Amino acid sequence: MKRLRHKTNRAPKQYGPTRFYHNFRLTMLLILLPLTVGALAIYYALSGPLAVQLASFGSKRLVTDNWQIAYTQLSGTQPEYGPKNAYYRLKVGQDLDWVAQHFSIDAVRLQEINPGLVTYNTTVAIPPVEKPLQPFGVTSGNVYNLTVREVDGTLRLSNDFRNPKVRTTIPEMTQFLAYYGAISKIADKHYRINRPISIEKNIRLDITGSTVNKLELSSGPNFAITCLCAESAEILIKDTAITSVDPTTNQPDTKQEDGRSFIRGLNSTRLDIINSDISYLGSGLNSQQSQKAILRNGGMYGTAWRINDDKLGQEIATGWVEGSTFHNNYYGAYSFGASGMMWRNNLFNQNEVYGLDPHDDSNSAIIENNRFIKNGKHGFIVSKRCNFNIIRNNISVDNGLHGFMLHQDSNYNLIENNMAIGNTDNFVIFNSSFNTISANKSYVPRSSHVRSNFKAKQNYITDNLFYGGKQGISLYEGVDGALVEQNVFNKISDNILNTSQAGRVLLTNNTVDSLHYRIAEADRVVFGPNRVETKPALDMSPLQVYYY
């Protein structure tokens, strides 16, 4: 009998690494090790302390011989900044006491500036406004002394300067103009202006929270609009809200294309706006409608301070604007020929074109602690001969075009301690001279931190922080004279300095993290010593704040 043999499971035979494998691995190690070491060395050279040393060496090589001569010439022409006096021609019935009250100027100081006999038709020097108007409390009781004329559809209320001043309110005006149906009472402290109204000469109108917390300006289709207008008078708007209303919908008028109601102070009007909300006002100038009586004097963009075209040196539109919000207007606010205004602690947001636009010959204003947020074009702009303005401690964020702009012969302006984030160009100087951009913080522009072009001359860019974005400073189209000093440039993706058709440019004593400069061949650019530092101490906290 055969014995059966049981099969057992045996482990497969194990094979160890071959000699080829060992040789291959050793070969790869021998190849990769020097490559890795080389890569690390290159990385260290390009991004480590050695890179800083190399860049610093390169920066020293860029220093122009005798650069100090250029510095002396450029820095020696930097002006002192500050508001100047404006000039006003007295009308019949006016004297220095009236001037002191109307412009809120200390009477003793005013007399010192204008010594001697001051009479009708004398031109007097007027310093900037020193304080806001205060509510008068009780009306003067003489509103029925006003002259009322109906001219081209506008009710014009006037009071000669030789007569006692009329101090009135919207509730009192509602009764006084009842025959014309000019103003309606909607509810307690809620009124609507139904017709264009212009108060003129020796009248003071108070629209304050004690009597009005909401005022509507009727604003229908096809230029069926109204205005709260003044000429050489005084209006105080305080603790209230003013907006347009379309009578067909009972909602704010959101269509500016066919006209929209507005607020305007003309010629020597004093218009103050304090702690108030101004919205859905203003429109562009339609050429087909520009001859309508209500639009002839311009300034229909929202809320405007304006003198007539030929009145510079004779009239002064002015005011004090503080703690107020201007939103969803055509322009947030606008001035033309205004002088000595105060713009403080206001919000200009989501206006169709500009946030704040002091235009032609708007001089000697203080613009401080305001916010310009998400406006359609520029957050802030001064344009055409706007001089001696101080623009400080403001914030301009996410506007459609530029954050802060000086345009067309706007000279001797100081832009300091502002912050700009995410605008196309954060700061712009266009064809303007002897301006200083100093001690600002500029973050992540869509194009340049500072753009200066079209024959801008003798401007000074000093002590600023420029972080992120594409371009640092762009100088072109005939720039002549620019001192770029003691700024910090960090994380700029393209060029720190970019020039084309620029002369007498000095870059000195700045802190940079690269040597990315693009200088056109024929440009005259002088380099002083600049420090290379890849990780300077930066204030990044503004990028963590929600500004809306």
304 three-class SS: strand
For the chain, give me the number of helices (H) and strands (E)?
6, 45
Average pLDDT, the chain: 93
Six token digits for residue 40: 């690390």
Give DSSP secondary structure letters for 216-278. Answer: EEEEETTTEE-EEEEES-EEEEES-EEEEEBTTTTB-----TT---EEEEETT-EEEEES-EE
Residue 296 is predicted with a pLDDT of: 85
Could you count the other beta carbons within 10 Å of the beta carbon of residue 542? Answer: 16
Q: How far is 492 from 513, CA to CA, in rounded Å?
A: 9
Q: pLDDT band at 42, cuts 50/70/90? A: low
Residue 285 is predicted with a pLDDT of: 78
Q: pLDDT band at 166, cuts 50/70/90? A: very high
Could you report the per-residue pLDDT of 175-204, keeping only the tens digit for each? 999 999 999 999 999 999 999 999 999 999
Q: How far is 373 from 398, CA to CA, in rounded Å?
A: 6
For the residues 476-492, what does the mean pLDDT come to? 98
- Counting Cβ atoms within 10 Å, is residue 493 exposed (0-12), middle (13-18) or buried (19+)? exposed
Q: How far is 151 from 539, CA to CA, in rounded Å?
A: 58
Q: Going by CATH, does the domain composed of 128-362 fall within 2.40.30.10?
A: no
Name the β-bridge partners of 124: 88
Task: Report DSSP state, residue 189.
Answer: T
Q: How far is 383 from 121, CA to CA, in rounded Å?
A: 30
2 has pLDDT over 50: no
- Do 421 and 397 contact (CB within 8 A), yes or no? yes
The most distant pair of C-alpha atoms in the chain lies apart, rounded to whole Å, by 153
467 three-class SS: strand
Q: pLDDT band at 57, cuts 50/70/90? A: low
37 has pLDDT over 80: no
Q: pLDDT band at 287, cuts 50/70/90? A: low
Q: Give domain limits for the chain.
A: 63-83+372-548, 86-126, 128-362
Q: What are phi and psi of 277, to 5 degrees?
A: -120, 120
Could you count the other beta carbons within 10 Å of the beta carbon of residue 58? Answer: 12
Q: pLDDT band at 340, cuts 50/70/90? A: very high
Residue 248 is predicted with a pLDDT of: 95
Closest CA to 133 of 226, 312, 265, 299: 265
Residue 531's identity, in one-letter code, is R
Residue 209 is predicted with a pLDDT of: 99
Nearest 5 degrees, angle CA 455-CA 460-CA 464?
125
For the residues 128-135, what does the mean pLDDT come to? 98
440 has pLDDT over 90: yes
13 has pLDDT over 60: no
Q: How far is 332 from 281, CA to CA, in rounded Å?
A: 9
Could you tell me where the DSSP H helices lie in 487-544? Answer: none
Task: Report DSSP state, residue 165.
Answer: P
- Assigned architecture for domain 86-126: Roll (3.10)
Could you report the per-residue pLDDT of 317-326, keeping only the tens digit for each? 999 999 999 9
Q: How far is 210 from 166, CA to CA, in rounded Å?
A: 19
Residue 547 is predicted with a pLDDT of: 83
- Do 188 and 211 contact (CB within 8 A), yes or no? no
129 has pLDDT over 70: yes
Residue 294 is predicted with a pLDDT of: 83
Residue 41 is predicted with a pLDDT of: 56
For the residues 472-488, what does the mean pLDDT come to? 99
Residue 293 is predicted with a pLDDT of: 81
Six token digits for residue 199: 């108060």
34 has pLDDT over 90: no
32-46, 377-391, 504-518, range with the lowest pLDDT: 32-46
Name the β-bridge partners of 466: 442, 489
For the residues 32-60, what does the mean pLDDT come to? 62
- Do 214 and 189 contact (CB within 8 A), yes or no? yes
210 has pLDDT over 60: yes
Task: Report DSSP state, residue 55.
Answer: H
Six token digits for residue 209: 């929270």
38 has pLDDT over 70: no
Q: How far is 117 from 48, CA to CA, in rounded Å?
A: 74
> What's the pTM value of the predicted model, to 2 decimals?
0.91
More confident residue, 22 or 258: 258
- Cα(first)–Cα(last) distance of the chain, in Å? 102
Residue % of the chain over a pLDDT of 70: 89
